[in-house]
Amino acid sequence: MRILVVEDEVTMAESLRSGLQAEGFAVDVAPDGEEGLWLAGEVDYDAIILDLMLPKVNGFKVCRTLREREDWTPILMLTAKDGHLDEAEGLDTGADDYLTKPFAFVVLLARLRVLLRRAGSERPTILAAGDLTLDPASHDVQRGESKIDLTAREFSLLEFLMRRVGEVVSKTEIMSHVWDFNFDGDPNIVEVYVRSLRKKIDVPFDRSSIVTIRGAGYKIDKDGG
């Protein structure tokens, strides 16, 4: 899942970045509303964390502009305790939720999970493909009763594939949702990660849930291989 953080306070922005990355999210940070709007137009983010008081274009305007563009990416608005936020106004501009600073990171994470789950079509709390299950909140991955340990990036890749279970997902889509702009390496990294995932979720169980579709991408078999 790829997240855009629009926040001008460097310390806050960097702590959000590192906290979210540790949870397996790909994260881009924009230091002002203008850059936030630009990035949101370039990348199909899964959610946006948007500060209210921002240089150039404030959070309200960013939000309104995105909705005018018919961009319905879930938005979690951050507001200052002594700020001018009227909660109703924040939600009126199209934000999906708001959080008052200072907040605990775990609270932000929980709210973000709710927004991601709510977004788009109905998303179950626990993702499943046959007996392969993934819980986005607890990070538990299991094949039947067996727990599987994944790295943050492997988890993120599997989560992205499992949210689209049964659909073919291109390497480009995977790149843009699982890696951030700071990644400037070889796109074949996707293959490397698919291989390491297979070694953990398929090979030991004699299954083949990740199917390679030549020239198109990958899909997770809806029956779990």
Q: Which residues bind Ca ion (CB under 5 A)?
A: 8, 51, 53
Q: What are phi and psi of 165, to 5 degrees?
A: -50, 135
Q: Which residue is nearest to Ca ion (CB)?
A: 53
Q: List, in sequence order, the alpha helices (H) in 94-188.
A: 105-118, 152-163, 171-178
The residue (of 56 and 171) whose beta carbon lies closer to Ca ion is 56
Closest to Ca ion by CB, 53 or 157: 53
Q: Which is nearer to Ca ion, 77 or 115 (CB)?
A: 77
Say if residues 218 and 174 touch (Cβ distance below 8 Å).
yes
Least spacing, CB of residue 217 vs Ca ion, in Å: 39
From the CB of 79, what's the least distance to Ca ion, in Å?
Answer: 9
**Least distance from Ca ion to the Cβ atom of residue 78, Å:** 8
Which residue lies nearer to Ca ion by CB, 31 or 225?
Answer: 31
Please report, for residues 61, 129, 160, 167, the alpha-carbon distance to residue 225 in angstroms, rounded to integers and kept in the order given: 46, 8, 17, 14
The distance of closest approach from Cβ of residue 38 to Ca ion in the complex, given in angstroms and rounded to an integer, is: 18
Kindly tell me which of 53 and 162 has the beta carbon lying closer to Ca ion. Answer: 53
Query: How many whole angstroms separate alpha carbon 204 and alpha carbon 155?
Result: 17
- Quote the least distance from Cβ 14 to Ca ion, whole Å: 14
Residues 69-74: contacts with CB under 8 Å, at least 24 apart:
69/41, 71/40, 71/41, 72/119, 73/40, 73/44, 73/45, 73/46, 73/47, 73/48, 73/119, 74/46, 74/47, 74/48, 74/115, 74/116, 74/118, 74/119
